[in-house]
Amino acid sequence: MNRLSSFLPLACAVVLAIAGPLLSPYAGDFVVKVMILSIFALSLQLLVGMTGLVSLGHAAFYGIGAYATVLASGKDGGSIAWLLPLAMACAAGYALVVGALSLRTRGVYFIMVTLAFAQMAFFVFHDTDVGGGSDGIYLYVRPVLGALDMENRLTQFYVVLAALVFTYALLVLIGRSRFGAALAGIRVNEQRMRAAGFPVYGYKLAAFVIAGALAGLAGFLLAARDGVVNPELLSWHNSGDVLLMIILGGLGRLRGAVIGAACFTVLKEVLATQSFVGPLADHWQLTLGLAIIVFVALLPKGIIGLAERLSPRA
Amino acid sequence: MDFGTFLVQCLNAVQYGLLLFLVASGLTLIFGIMGVINLAHGSFYMIGAYLAFSLAPLFGDNFILMLLAGVVLTAALGYVLEWAFFSYLYQRDHLQQVLMTYGLILVFEELRSILIGNDVHGVPLPAWLGGSFALGDLMSYPWYRIFASVACIVVAVALYYVVNRTRLGMMVRAGASNRDMVRGLGIDIRRLYRIVFAAGVALAALAGMIAAPMSSVYPNMGASVLIICFVVVVIGGIGSITGALVAALLVGFVDTFGKVFFAELSGVGIYVLMAVILIWRPEGLMGKKA
Amino acid sequence: MNALLSVNSLTRRFGGLVAVNEITLDLHRGEVHAVIGTNGAGKSTLINMLSGEIGVSAGQIRLDGQDITRRSQALRARSGVGRSYQRTTIFPEFTVHENCRLAAQAATPRPWAIWQSASGCSGSNAAAAEALAAAGLAEVAQRVAGTLSHGAKRQLEVAMCLATRPRVLLLDEPLAGMGAEETDRMLALLERLRANHAILLVEHDMDAVFRIADRITVMVNGAVIASGDPASIRENSEVRTAYLGEEH
């Protein structure tokens, strides 16, 4: 049973790869959106689920990756080969600064400080002309790579899928590695890790920066897909939503991030569509808020936790 | 900058800082005593502001009476909210508290949208608090802002008195440093928490009521105040009311003078201040070293 | 013989309170040096200063002649100072072997080598196996640490110390909460460790202390009131006064 389930993610990737050209424009678009959010959620899973660092400002790195892509593309666009690394580098750079400062604090302080630094980034894009102010900016030409043009929907699909597979595989490797073992130790008992001789601050900072870079990757993909970015990408609502995704799916499990991203996106769609919930659709914030409260209260281990409870393994 | 302008900005900074202190003191009390991080604290500020908007026509010029009514109403709301919702959060970890109170924000925002709508509204000043007085030759300063500052000072002094000189305050301080010990002394910790929570809500709401005529009421006013409040608490040190006061005034000055000198990037100023504190004293100005 | 860890006039002030007042003591290899004292005597503060968790107000700590007073805890641990805690700091969700392997990993961290799995790290695995064997926990290596008995958990706490192959062991009340049989087992472990380590033992259990210690330092109100071999400490009138009425 265990061995079978460890092949599940790979199987899903293969299915998606095959299904790509077969999906309708709407469905394909939706799947791409979920895949991008999955990368975003996976990046946070590294930070929260694996290292135990609850960040409430992760959207900042997502938004910076997106804005960097659009700003660097200018009027002529650019090649994925340098736009993608640039977006990730910008996000990672901000993550380095924010991480270096925030990791001097712990617990609730850390949560508040990460939120504050994300808000600072939000203000820079919202109040200044750097990013076209509160309206955001448009991407004139989507990134290309040789014959691949991200204007093409199918190309978009496969680039995003490849990025998702890369991110997932990277995190699987990290999870098995010494680095991942150290992060897990820090999550469970930081004091013992220090007493054993681990430079805990350095490890946390590394996790923070990698998580930021991966969020930047998601941001790049979002900009390439939507063709427009606005400051709301860095809003704390977005930071809260991605945190919700990983709780929804199951904290600490990589597939939990993907499941959570998918379910959250579907949930938001359903709650806002009148054909499902009637007049409540206009007040989706209310239903979403109540749903969050009830869900976190009753299912703290997320969907995966529920699945495990329902089908116990020997 | 001439002296008149400088004085006006100083008065603005103090007034803004004092209002922030009111909200932040509620936040730091709730966190310091109960260990709950409450993202919905900004919503209480918003509730206060919208309450002022709703009650103003009823009370007319009896502004102070309206404030008192608001305090009583929101304290009652806080009392019920603690019993119905927040008391379940104490045993949960920070992440769950963050998410559940995030959900609460969404609920509050939508309820406000349903009950009052999404428009921006002004709140009229009572006649006796309207108008300005002359400040030097060229400037004038609104009486209401002076009133706001004075009101906040009165509350701050009352808070100091209650926390430091009454039995209730002693229990609060004891609870802050050693929760289990207080329980062991036979003090009904649940009622203590409920009272502290109600006070925290009332403080935030009162700040909202006082701020309403100056800033108008608008959706999202809770969110902006919340994050600045977090910055104040981080700078001042969690659990320290004195720290919150010092930090709030600092933030008030940095923000106000920041707007004067660096118009566009002024919003960034307070975060830079926070960054400096993090480098120098990460536990906050008056926080306890970990 | 030169001391492995030498502590010179170590002082720690908290505002106006002097928690530790000019403590001087030496740890030698092959010796168990016990530090005893009434509650609030400053023993925890002392051991926290030695392991590097809190800073020093005045005084010096030397490891093998080198000044480590300002070194971080993690750096001290890598230099050979191991510490066990009064409140167990194991990783309950991992197996006993994984607990020690993770601790041992600190010596060969190589965090960038993410293509190598942690479980395959031969160096860490070997060090873990050694530590578990020394601590007598080899049979339970595959059990989840959280399911161990209290006594076994305390043994694991010491084993995790050993996994980093330290030269100095700072043990903070390793016998806390143990029954007679468990105490015997722990003392037997300390006996085996004595030969190759310099051991500092902070303990409340007087019987155990007098059984195992080679030297005893007595602290009252942050200062040393007596230091010497167990026999002379037993005869010491000041010590008897300090402990009068506090028979174990």
In this predicted model, what pLDDT tens digit does every residue of A180-189 receive, in sequence order? 999 999 999 9
Helices A236-249 & A59-73 angle (0-180, nearest 10):
120
**C-alpha distance from B265 to closest chain A C-alpha (Å):** 7
* Touching subunits for chain C (3+ Cβ pairs under 8 A): A
Assigned domain for A160 exists: yes
Interface contacts (A, B; CB < 8 Å): 120
Helices B269-280 & B241-261 angle (0-180, nearest 10):
130
CB distance A182–C102 less than 8 Å?
A: yes
pLDDT at A173: 94
How much of chain A is in helix, strand and coil states, percent to nearest 5? Answer: 80, 5, 20
Q: Where in chain C are the domains?
A: 1-80+166-248, 90-165
Whether residue A121 is predicted with pLDDT greater than 50 in this model: the reply is yes
pLDDT at B281: 86
Is A12 buried (19+), middle (13-18) or exposed (0-12) by CB count in 10 A? middle
Is residue A115 within 8 angstroms of chain B, CB to CB?
yes
Stretches where chain B sits below pLDDT 50 are: 290
CB distance C85–A191 less than 8 Å?
A: yes
Assigned domain for A79 exists: yes
**C-alpha distance from C90 to closest chain A C-alpha (Å):** 7
Q: Which of A185, A195, A199 sits opposite C83 (nearest CB)?
A: A195
**C-alpha distance from B276 to closest chain A C-alpha (Å):** 9
C84-117 tens-digit pLDDT: 998 889 999 999 999 999 999 998 878 888 888 8
Round to whole Å and give the CA distance between B278 and A56.
Answer: 17
pLDDT at B176: 66
Alpha-carbon distances, residue A79 vs A131, A146, A224, C103 (angstroms): 21, 8, 11, 45
CB distance A292–B99 less than 8 Å?
A: yes
Question: Residue A298 in 3-state DSSP?
Answer: helix
Q: Give residue A312's pLDDT band: very low, low, confident or very high (50, 70, 90).
A: low
Q: Structurally, what CATH architecture does the domain formed by C1-80+166-248 represent?
A: 3-Layer(aba) Sandwich (3.40)
Interface test mutation site (partner C, options A177, A188, A205, A301, max chain C beta carbons within 10 A): A177
Round to whole Å and give the CA distance between C89 and C176.
Answer: 13
CB distance B278–A288 less than 8 Å?
A: no
DSSP A183-252: HHHHHH-HHHHHHHT--HHHHHHHHHHHHHHHHHHHHHHHHHHHSEE-GGGGSHHHHHHHHHHHHHH-TT
Question: Which residues of chain A lie closer than 8 angstroms to B95, CB-CB?
Answer: 48, 54, 243, 247, 251
Chain C, 119-148: which have a CB under 8 Å from a chain A CB?
119, 121
Assigned domain for A311 exists: no
Calculate Rg over the CA atoms of chain B. Answer: 19
C129-146 tens-digit pLDDT: 999 999 989 999 999 999
- The mean pLDDT of A250-277, rounded to a whole number, is 88
Whether residue A160 is predicted with pLDDT greater than 60 in this model: the reply is yes
CB neighbour list of residue C25: distance below 8 Å, 6 or more residues apart: C6, C7, C33, C35, C217, C224, C227
Q: Which of B95, B103, B114 sits opposite A292 (nearest CB)?
A: B103
Assigned domain for A43 exists: yes
**C-alpha distance from B162 to closest chain A C-alpha (Å):** 26
How high is the ipTM of this complex?
0.89
CB distance B223–A236 less than 8 Å?
A: yes
Number of domain units in chain A: 1
Instruction: Report if pTM > 0.90.
Output: yes
pLDDT at A1: 46
Which residue has 């806390």 as its token pair? C176
Q: Give residue A314's pLDDT band: very low, low, confident or very high (50, 70, 90).
A: very low
CB neighbour list of residue C87: distance below 8 Å, 6 or more residues apart: none
DSSP B221-235: HHHHHHHHHHHHHHH
pLDDT at A200: 95
CB C47 within 8 A of CB C172: yes
Stretches where chain C sits below pLDDT 50 are: 245-248
Tokens (6 digits) for A265: 């996106």
Chain A, 185-244: which have a CB under 8 Å from a chain C CB?
185, 188-189, 191-200, 203, 206
Round to whole Å and give the CA distance between C48 and C42.
Answer: 10
pLDDT at B239: 77
CB distance A111–B274 less than 8 Å?
A: no
Tokens (6 digits) for A291: 């749903």
Range of the domain at A159: 28-234
Chain B residue nearest residue A245, CA to CA: B99
Assigned domain for A183 exists: yes
Chain B, 252-281: which have a CB under 8 Å from a chain A CB?
264-265, 267-268, 271, 274-275, 278-279
**C-alpha distance from A183 to closest chain C C-alpha (Å):** 10
Assigned domain for A252 exists: no
Whether residue A313 is predicted with pLDDT greater than 70 in this model: the reply is no
CB A215 within 8 A of CB A88: no
Assigned domain for A11 exists: no
pLDDT at C248: 47
- The mean pLDDT of A130-134, rounded to a whole number, is 81
Alpha-carbon distances, residue C141 vs A2, B260, C133 (angstroms): 22, 66, 9
Question: Which residues of chain C lie closer than 8 angstroms to A173, CB-CB?
Answer: 114-115
Closest to C153 measured CA to CA, from C195, C119, C185, C201: C185
Amino acid of residue C238: E
Mean pLDDT of chain A: 91
Strand partners, C202: C35, C172
pLDDT at C239: 81
